Amino acid sequence: MTQHINEYGQPIGAPLPEWQPRQWPCYEVFTGQYCRLEPLSAERHGRELYTAYAQANDGRDWTYMFAAPFADEETYLAYAKSIEQGRDPMHFAVIDMQSQRAVGTLALMRIDAKNGAVEVGHVAFSPLLKQTCMATEAHYLLMRYAFDQLGYRRYEWKCDSCNQPSRKAALRLGFQFEGIFRQAIVYKGRNRDTCWFSMIDAEWPQLKQAFERWLAVENFHADGTQRAKLEALR
């Protein structure tokens, strides 16, 4: 890597003479092969999402979320209403292309258009969505939007350091582990040490190619099992 030195003999970061602040994300519809992302609407998606989340046997999927398990549909609908159309976070519903029903949500958040950085968070995938092609594609669609359409430089993932499934998912998707911020957050009456992960624009072309190869129909057997793992295609 080329080292840049200023007039005082000090090492400095690479110059970005053409850099301009990026556009703030918009609420759009993103369509893939297996799923579609739509701006979250309590009216359109709320009941389907509550039904999808109710497929879980218990409330463990909410342990590391800021939201708590929802006791009834009315409570979830009120929550969905409170977060729809927000400027930051911006929540999207994941629609199963086969059933045309909402099966989970995720959001763009901590949006820093000036520096071209954004985080994906509030990932609430129901049992109908977890560990499916749709789940991977939902992340890919937002990454593609951030890098290819908005021209962002950095895409982040953060989670509770105790949340091993989330840490594993970040690495599988191609994020790089950056470290742990100790005692970063207090939530649900307890401490959270936060793991930071990221991917950057220079890495995106290779990651994008791997996603597209993995998502291709020919990468799956007739029974739906994968031929090659995503990690192996990078």
CATH of the domain at 217: 3.40.630.30
In this structure, is residue 7 part of a structural domain? no
Rounded Cα distance between 133 and 108, Å, is 20
Tell me the pLDDT of the chain (234 aa) as tens digits. Answer: 688 999 999 999 999 999 999 999 999 999 999 999 999 999 999 999 999 999 999 999 999 999 989 999 999 999 999 999 999 999 999 999 999 999 999 999 999 999 999 999 999 999 999 999 999 999 999 999 999 999 999 999 999 999 999 999 999 999 999 999 999 999 999 999 999 999 999 999 999 999 999 999 999 999 989 999 999 999
Q: Are 82 and 91 in contact (CB under 8 A)?
A: no
In this structure, is residue 17 part of a structural domain? no
Please count the CA atoms within 13 angstroms of the CA of 14 that sit on its side-chain side: 5
Rounded Cα distance between 216 and 22, Å, is 31
Range of the domain at 162: 25-233
Q: What's the CA dihedral at 1, 199, 86, 49 to 10 degrees?
A: 180
Total domains in the chain come to 1
pTM of structure: 0.96
The count of other CB atoms within 10 Å of the CB of residue 43 is 10
In this structure, is residue 8 part of a structural domain? no
